[in-house]
Amino acid sequence: FSVFARPSTVPHGAGYELLIQKFLSLYGDQLDMHRKFVVQLFAEEWSQYIDLPKGFLVSERCKVRLVPLQIQITTLGNLTPSSTVFFCCDMQERFRPAIKYFGDIISVGQRLLQGARILGIPVIVTEQYPKGLGSTVQEIDLTGVKLVLPKTKFSMVLPEVEAALADIPGVRSVVLFGVETHVCIQQTALELVGRGVEVHIVADATSSRSMMDRMFALERLARTGIIVTTSEAILLQLVADKDHPKFKEIQNIIKASAPESGLLSKV
């Protein structure tokens, strides 16, 4: 962030924690605070920046910087029940007449929730302004879900959701579905990825009022490394083996193929 560089002061003897506080007071509104950082000191003898030495204290004028750590990794998309959470977004009654192929995505969403119950996967459900838009549709069985939360924010990443994720050990992946693809689904996915969570969007369980909005949202999300997949692929990946003790139950869910609705030609 050299373009933001400016002279500033800290008390004599300030160490790492005070430097971090100073950086946040100056630049906190411009940084993604969910990233990891390292503080570096400009070393005159090397003519380059080095990681801040252990026990460093400011005793004279010096040049320090805050560097974001970026690790480029290939998104593999592996799923295991123990590290996965399902997010069901705003599948509400008032959306029924407006969302394209809403009946189809309800059907597929219900399959996913059945699979989550069988495999013991936590499910978090949100409802966008339920006072005005109604509750989750009756066809979606919410038995055993971890949370059902009202919201006005488009993203599902509410403080209560973050707290719930923190309470589930080892969460690595979120399987996300619901409406609308280009609004709440997209904003939820981007926020989760920004927090280091791998996101799988279920294409046959998400839609919008406009198929153009849906199509371009899925294309954009796929380009960011988010995995766009299908309900059957998700459920079979989670059991992984025909000898899995729950395979037969999952097989019963997918025995009849998911609806091949107009969503298919518009992805």
Q: Which of 22, 88, 100, 184 is catalytic?
A: 184
Closest CA to 180 of 147, 215, 150: 215
Which runs of E-coded beta strand occur in 117-252?
A: 123-128, 147-151, 173-179, 198-207, 227-229
Sign of CA dihedral 226, 229, 233, 235: positive
Q: Which helix (H) or strand (E) holds 88?
A: strand 84-89
| Cα distance between residue 175 and residue 57, in whole Å | 46
Q: Which of 88, 89, 100, 151 is catalytic?
A: 151
| Cα distance between residue 124 and residue 130, in whole Å | 16
For residue 90, indicate whether it is catalytic.
yes
User: Any idea what the Cα angle at residue 101 is, between residues 97 and 104, rounded to 5°?
Assistant: 115
For residue 89, indicate whether it is catalytic.
no
Helix (H, G, I), strand (E, B) or coil at 243: coil
Q: In what order do the strands lie in the sheet with 37-43?
A: 48-51, 37-43, 64-68
Q: Which of 90, 100, 104, 204 is catalytic?
A: 90
Q: In what order do the strands lie in the sheet with 173-179?
A: 147-151, 123-128, 84-89, 173-179, 198-207, 227-229
240: left (phi over 0), alpha (psi -120 to 50) or beta: left
For residue 151, indicate whether it is catalytic.
yes
Residues 6+ apart with CB under 8 A from 125: 87, 88, 89, 91, 136, 142, 145, 147, 148, 149
Catalytic residues: 90, 151, 184
